[in-house]
Amino acid sequence: MSIQHYQSIFGNAATEVRQFNTLFVIFLVVCAVMYVAVIAFLIAGIARRRRAAEANTVEEGRHHESDPAMRTGLIAWGAVVGTGLVALAIASFVADRSMANAAAHEKLSITVTGNQWWWDVQYNAADNSKMVRTANELHLPVGVPVRIMLKSNDVIHSFWVPSLAGKQDLIPGRDTDITITPQKVGIYRGQCAEYCGAEHAKMALVVDVDSYPDFIKWWQHQLQTAPKPTTPLALAGYNYVTSRNCSACHAIAGTPASATVGPDLTHLASRRTLAASMPMSEGNLYGWVADPQSIKPGTKMPTIGLEPNELHAVVAYLETLK
Amino acid sequence: MILEPRFTGDVADLPTHKFGPGSLTWWGIIGFMVIEGTFFALAFAAYFFLMGHEQGWPPEARQAPNLLWGTLFLIVILLSEIPNTMIKKAAHERDVPAIRALMPVIIGIGGVLLIIRGFEFNNLNCRWTDDAYSSIVWAILFLHTTHILTDWGDTVVLWFLMMTDVGWEGRRLVDTDENCMYWRYVWLLWIPVYLLVYWVPRL
Amino acid sequence: MSSRFRASLALLAVATLALAACDREERHSRAKPMGETVPAGTSPDTIWPGGTVPQTLDPRAKLYDNNAPAISQGQSLYSQMNCGGCHSHGGGGMGPALMDDEWRYGGRIDQIATSIAEGRPNGMPSWRSKLTEDQIWQLAAYVRSMSGQPSKDAVNSRADAMSATAPQTLTPRETVQTSDTAEQ
Amino acid sequence: MTELERVRAEDQRLAKERQRIARDGPKLTGAKLEARLERTWRRPPGILGWLATVDHKEIGRRYIITALLFLALGGMLSLAMRLQLAQPDSNLISPQRYNELFTMHGSTMMFLFAVPVMEGVAVFIIPLMLGTRSTAFPRLNAFSYYMYLFGGLLLWVAFLLNIGPDIGWFAYTPLSGPQFSPGKRADIWAQMITFTEVSALAAAVVLICTILKARAPGMTLARMPLFAWAMLVVAVMIVFSMPSIALCSGMLISDRLVGTQFYNHYEHGDALLWQHLFWFFGHPEVYIIFLPATGFVSVITETFCRRPIFAYPVVVLALISTGILAFGLWVHHMFATGLPRVGYSFYTSASMTVAIPTGLQIFCWLATMWDGRPRFQVPMLYVVGFIVTFVIGGLSGVIIASVPLDLQLHDTYFIVAHFHYVLIGGAVFPLLGILTYWFPKITGRMMSETLGKIGFWMLFLGFQLAFFPMHFAGLLGMPRRVYTYPAGLGLELPNLLSTIGAFVVATAVGLFVVNGLYSLYRGAIAPPNPWEASTLEWATTSPPPPYNFAHVPVVDSKTPLWDAEGELPVVTGLRVDEKETLLTTVVAASPDLREPVPAASLWPLILSIAVAVFFISSIFSPWAVLFGSIPCAIAAAAWFWPKELNRNPEPVIT
């Protein structure tokens, strides 16, 4: 199922981005007025002398006193530009202030850790049994302000979902955070906005804004451990995944695989995207597991070189991880 | 059509050299002084930026640099101002023999300073790879060392030049005067560096 | 432009082309795996007692031995796979030291790769099923850099981590005395 | 007979010898004077002479040609990038190669084209415009060019050898640090910075000393042309901003070579230290590129509207305040790094304030056009194109100065559109205009008017087609520096349009080069003052002789050539047998000194080779810093050592 994701600034799906839109319109109007004034003055200058005869150049240049009207024009222009900029600065401070205040009282806390070329998402909860760990995807309840703590394991990334809020960098050694209050249910796509190496272009994430009951249902589902495989093919896949290469980097709750080097795969098949860039589908799963280096050259996941039967088994098992 | 020249004045008897802001090389040296000054100012800003992050400075309760060699360096470099001023006066009075006699003194002091600097590097109580504090301290001290080395080299070459007959020329006297000005800048710059490297960690 | 000047221009162009051969920085992110890793089935790499002719160097060695991206990848794998648990930062602990010149099972890159892939007695696990041979060779390249074997401009000076050892760019090259006479 | 008496006798002999020196004056003038001056100031023959030249015109010409070559190379990289981005999910170019392409495009355009071409034009024209015979420190000027050339060669040879940088033109740590940029790619970028920064600092000192000390008698600061004011402000900005990038790139190289911990947060370093130091240089850098262009616009507008620029003091104060304010707004590049919001609001207001001086300058140009009698030849067309394009870029700059807006627009294609509008619109348009304007003075031939007009309109329309859609790509959420983008986000159309536009811009620039090469051999022969301009560079022949002016002119107004009734006031008395120029006092520009001009010499080239070997070898081993500096010291000492050790016959004043 190809997902048409909405990554435009005018997605208008959260309070933060709505303030952005009003401020952006104010700035556009004032700047357009200034631009029209400049172009009008330019055209006036061009048209005005079109008819003047070719007077003697040298004589004309020397005794030229500019008429006083232009002096007042200069002062007026300076005043207009000055007040315009002061007005825009005040508008910007007001919007900035109201955004900062909105961030005061948030109810949900998530920690997003940036790695080279994927997002490690952790839902913080009071007791650890309620903690949920997923990757490249965020589920947010509509109307509930959420505070996202941003950390990085390697280089500087930038968390940016255009339809929800402004971007915020993830800097190793510094803790930054961002507050989002989604207002519209829907699927919104975001991308890393700070150049972070070979696969910076394929480090996307999807934010799923659900109604509160759906969100709770999703949370409960995420808390369950991975279902036991039933079909023999899935069982063969289970044996491969939990004993061979995959378990060196990935974790699947309820199985021996528990490495946190790579993303958590417990509910891989329930996610909308795969490898932070492609929609989740069987074809993409086959392509990615068989040879990740040809899809994201330079990514940390190696090309294992699975035999065809192993590949079918592994993909069959991964698809059971709903 | 080139305009016909209308002769309005003659500059034939203007001098070819002047001491102070009249000379072109004076402005050139001021330019390079401003560049090096900005270098040091930004290195200081980086030092205080890194210091701003830490509760304890130097971090991990590291020993501050030993005072002995740094203070000795300060004393010797301040003493070097005596021959420096004498050379500057001699240059103004075209007393070339005095210049030829005094320059080896200041070159000798420069050599002594470089040796003391070697001991200073040993007594910083940190290696540049230990942490950001050690790196920036080594960097600032290294910057000042290149500063001294370049001016010491200049003085040596200038001394060889003053030993020749050309030493009596006006422009060479201006060079000596400006070299002394630059040496004065070198030790003026050492005072903030000394306070930063040796006393700020002790605050 | 006199002819001599044109001649010097041509010479410069030829010199630039000749330099194009070095690919120390080539990032080999191969799409296809390269067949079997270290010879499977045979006993751990035959050690060449006495003067017998040492095994010819595996052709893959030159792709990894002095290759900067491979060494850097090996460095991150070293920490991710918790090799430091036994070898610490090369100084040794439960496992033998990796930064000195003592190599019980051979210090050449293919021998180290075999040690990692097959495992060794006294506790070295076999990583053949956990790591692809691409990763094994990268780890081998990094292990060699701990004792300063690769050329100084292929290693990086420090990791973005607590500085445990002196920068590899400044560590002198340890002369490798393996218990056998494997040449480098 | 003591030494003192011998020296006294020597002084008497030299004083008599001084009487016989030939000097220019009413008795020695016209063709006879020019022939002798030609022989004194001529460049030594052959290849070695070509390499040893210290004539500011030759060095300026080389700067401009080398910079335009790098513009062409950087432009070709941008075409390759546009081809890769023409359609979604294309794998025409691998990610690693694409990352190298945009790093090389950014670094080449910013460090190897924009700043050097402005310095090149200034080094060529400023001495002519100020009415003097040579820049101050001509050998330092030659050294500056060679350092720039070797820096460019280092970057491009490394790129061709597949060890080019792939870290972006501002190389944020920790990505450019030792762990995440293995090998020598980042070091080569950082060392290229050291080359171009040494070259820019040297050229800046040369320009400051020339403008302050070598102006024509009578050209007080209030009568100095606006282009000279612009270059003075730019040179002072270079002096204060370049050390910042020298320091942080030096710290990056030491982090990568000897393991210092500046940017390693595990060892009390900080990744943001790089951003602060880089952008403290970065923002003044873009004004270092823009302010010379304002100088160009003032020169063209004054000549083609046939009246002095309106409100000269306002434009000068605007230049100075832009130069000062530029140092106060670097944090607006770091709005997304989580620094305290109160600090950000200061930088928002500072970024807004810097728009006021530029706004006033634009008013003054428009008022000059409104009150003058504009002729729309090619240079004036570029000025009109500049105003239409640059103001859009300036206003989008005001938009991203606001923190909440910048948090959405930062690091997106909206920013790519903004800085191309202010850099191409703000600097390349005036540059092409000024190259057309001064082409006759540099080469002695006129550029073709028709080819120029076609080229302008193609460039103007191609530019809008290439870069206006990028605003929408940014608003639709396309981040910067992505080698591809998925289908279905609405980004296909803007990117396709930008690709087409980029090729139109490329052909337009190609047309300009063709026009230049064609006119070099077949252009109309240019008279000394083809545009009937007012400044002194038009008072000498095109191209000017090696000594620029037979007699040093005297100035008594802002527009000397318009006020000179048929004859040019001059001063005489400079030597003819030796290269000599006149120095004047800083403010009043009254004659002060006769300054001997250093002869052509190979030492600047030899020293720059020694420094190049020193810089490049210090990428690979820290010991090179010690051993590499010895040949540099020797070459520098030889440069300083006078050619012959006999005393010149000038009286010594104590």
**Which member of C27, C33, C129 has the closest CB to residue A244?**
C129
- The residues, ordered by sequence, that sit 6+ positions from D252 with a Cβ below 8 Å of its Cβ are D171, D173, D176, D177, D186, D190, D262, D263, D274
Give residue-wise pLDDT tens across range C15-49. Answer: 555 454 456 677 766 544 444 444 443 444 445 54
pLDDT grade, residue D644 (50/70/90)? confident
In this structure, are D442 and D539 located in the same domain? no
pLDDT at D261 over 80: yes
pLDDT at D507 over 90: yes
In a domain, C164, yes or no: no
Instruction: Please classify residue C88 by burial: count the beta carbons closer than 10 Å to its beta carbon, then call 0-12 exposed, 13-18 middle and 19+ buried.
Output: middle
Q: What average pLDDT does chain D have? A: 93
Locate the chain B residue with the closest alpha carbon to D2.
B97
Chain C residues close to B130, C-beta within 8 Å:
163
In a domain, C8, yes or no: no
Q: Which residues between 114 and 153 in chain C have a beta carbon less than 8 angstroms from any beta carbon of chain D?
A: 152-153
Residue D393 to residue D405: CA distance in whole angstroms: 16
Identify the CA nearest to D536 among candidates D119, D206, D217, D298: D217
Query: What's the structural domain count of chain C?
Result: 1
pLDDT at A6 over 90: no
Q: What average pLDDT does chain B have? A: 92
In percent, how much of chain A has pLDDT > 70?
A: 92
Can you give the residue range of the structural domain that contains D61?
A: 48-522
Give residue-wise pLDDT tens across range B103-114. Answer: 999 999 999 999
Identify the CA nearest to C62 among candidates C110, C132, C117: C110
Cβ proximity of D572 and B7 under 8 Å: yes
Alpha helices by DSSP H, chain C: 3-19, 61-64, 68-80, 84-87, 109-118, 133-146
Chains near D, with 3+ CB pairs < 8 A?
A, B, C
- Window from B99-113, C84-98, D241-255, D274-288 with minimum mean pLDDT: C84-98
Higher pLDDT among residues A73 and A102, named by residue: A73
Report residue B178 CA to chain centroid gap: 11
pLDDT grade, residue D16 (50/70/90)? confident
Residue B6 to residue B180: CA distance in whole angstroms: 43
Q: Which residues between 82 and 101 in chain D have a beta carbon less than 8 angstroms from any beta carbon of chain A?
A: 94-96, 99
In this structure, are D189 and D93 located in the same domain? yes
**Which member of B22, B31, B164 has the closest CB to residue D592?**
B22
- Mean pLDDT confidence for C96-121: 86
Identify the CA nearest to D194 among candidates D240, D231, D143, D248: D248
Buried b or exposed e, range D219-257, using 16+ CB within 10 angstroms? bbbebbbbbbbbbbbbbbbbbbbbbbbbbbbbbbbbbbb
pLDDT at C6: 60
* CATH code for position C73: 1.10.760.10
Query: Token match 């004498």: residue?
Result: B86
In a domain, C33, yes or no: no
Give residue-wise pLDDT tens across range B36-68. Answer: 999 999 999 999 999 998 888 888 888 899 999
In a domain, C109, yes or no: yes
| Interface mutation target, options D69, D100, D258, D270, chain C, most CBs of C under 10 Å | D258
- Mean pLDDT confidence for B162-171: 88
Name the 3-class secondary structure at C141. Answer: helix
Locate the chain A residue with the closest alpha carbon to D93.
A297
pLDDT at B53: 86
> Phi and psi for D476 in degrees, rounded to 5?
-85, 0
Cβ proximity of D499 and D85 under 8 Å: yes
- Window from A20-34, B143-157, D10-24, D142-156 with minimum mean pLDDT: D10-24
In this structure, are D452 and D579 located in the same domain? no
Query: What's the structural domain count of chain D?
Result: 3
Distances (CA, A) of D296 to A189, D78, D226, D365, D427: 46, 26, 9, 11, 9
**Which member of C80, C131, C132 has the closest CB to residue A303?**
C132
Give residue-wise pLDDT tens across range C135-155. Answer: 999 999 999 888 888 888 888
In a domain, D7, yes or no: no
pLDDT at C5 over 80: no
Residue D344 to residue D334: CA distance in whole angstroms: 9
Report residue A285 CA to chain centroid gap: 23
Are C130 and A248 within 8 A, CB to CB?
yes
In this structure, are D333 and D473 located in the same domain? yes
In this structure, are D413 and D446 located in the same domain? yes
pLDDT at C184 over 70: no
In this structure, are D356 and D503 located in the same domain? yes
- Mean pLDDT confidence for D266-275: 93
E-assigned strands of A225-315? 273-274, 278-279
Amino acid occupying residue C33: P
- Mean pLDDT confidence for B69-76: 94
In a domain, B60, yes or no: no
Cα angle for residues A44, A48, A51 (degrees, 5° grid): 150
- The residues, ordered by sequence, that sit 6+ positions from D630 with a Cβ below 8 Å of its Cβ are none
Cβ proximity of D2 and D633 under 8 Å: no
* CATH code for position B71: 1.20.120.80
Alpha helices by DSSP H, D259-311: 271-304
Give residue-wise pLDDT tens across range D305-347. Answer: 988 999 999 999 999 999 999 999 999 999 999 898 888 999 9
- Mean pLDDT confidence for A7-24: 86
**DSSP assignment of B32-48:** HHHHHHHHHHHHHHHHH
pLDDT at A233 over 60: yes
Q: Residue B30: beta bridge partners?
A: none
Cα angle for residues D207, D213, D214 (degrees, 5° grid): 80
In a domain, D12, yes or no: no
pLDDT grade, residue A16 (50/70/90)? confident
pLDDT at D137 over 50: yes
Last residue of a domain, one of D522, D555, D575: D522
pLDDT grade, residue A52 (50/70/90)? low
Locate the chain D residue with the closest alpha carbon to A164.
D408
User: Residue A283 corresponds to which tokens in the numbers above?
Assistant: 């074809």
pLDDT at C11 over 80: no
pLDDT at C161: 84
Give residue-wise pLDDT tens across range D166-196. Answer: 999 999 999 999 999 998 999 999 999 999 9
In a domain, B14, yes or no: no
pLDDT at D445 over 80: yes
Distances (CA, A) of A106 to A101, A214, D337: 11, 20, 21
- For chain A, list the domains and their CATH numbers: 108-221 (2.60.40.420), 232-319 (2.60.40.420)
Amino acid occupying residue A168: Q
In this structure, are D420 and D455 located in the same domain? yes
Whole-structure pTM over 0.90, yes or no?
Answer: yes
pLDDT at B87 over 50: yes
pLDDT grade, residue D563 (50/70/90)? confident
Query: What's the structural domain count of chain B?
Result: 1
pLDDT at C17: 54
Å between C109 CA and nearest CA of chain D: 19
Identify the CA nearest to D259 among candidates C155, B119, B201, B62: C155
Can you give the residue range of the structural domain that contains C115?
A: 68-154+172-184
Q: Please indicate if any CB of chain A lies within 8 Å of the CB of C56.
A: no
Residue B127 to residue B141: CA distance in whole angstroms: 13
pLDDT at A102: 66
In a domain, C47, yes or no: no
pLDDT grade, residue C91 (50/70/90)? confident
Give residue-wise pLDDT tens across range A288-320. Answer: 999 999 999 989 999 998 999 999 999 999 999
pLDDT at D264: 93
Q: At what angle do helices D449-475 and D429-443 cross, to 10 degrees?
A: 160
Q: What average pLDDT does chain A have? A: 88
Distances (CA, A) of C63 to B3, C140, D511, D516: 72, 12, 46, 48
Chain C residues close to D185, C-beta within 8 Å:
25
Identify the CA nearest to D174 among candidates D162, D186, D165: D186
* CATH code for position D347: 1.20.210.10
- Mean pLDDT confidence for D89-109: 94
Distances (CA, A) of C180 to C107, C124, D436: 10, 21, 74
Residue D651 to residue D639: CA distance in whole angstroms: 25
In this structure, are D250 and D396 located in the same domain? yes
Give residue-wise pLDDT tens across range A106-122. Answer: 788 999 999 999 999 99
In percent, how much of chain B has pLDDT > 90?
A: 72
Give residue-wise pLDDT tens across range A268-279. Answer: 999 999 999 999
pLDDT at D27 over 60: yes
| Interface mutation target, options B26, B42, B160, B164, chain D, most CBs of D under 10 Å | B42
- Mean pLDDT confidence for C64-89: 90
In a domain, C5, yes or no: no
pLDDT at C38: 46
pLDDT at C183: 41
Report residue C67 CA to chain centroid gap: 8
Are D369 and A45 within 8 A, CB to CB?
yes
In a domain, C117, yes or no: yes
Identify the CA nearest to D502 among candidates D80, D102, D91: D80
pLDDT at C182 over 80: no
Can you give the residue range of the structural domain that contains B27?
A: 23-54+66-202
In a domain, C142, yes or no: yes
| Interface mutation target, options C89, C156, C160, C163, chain B, most CBs of B under 10 Å | C163
pLDDT grade, residue C3 (50/70/90)? low
**DSSP assignment of D176-225:** TSTTTS-TTHHHHHHHHHHHHHHHHHHHHHHHHHHHHH-PPTT--GGGS-
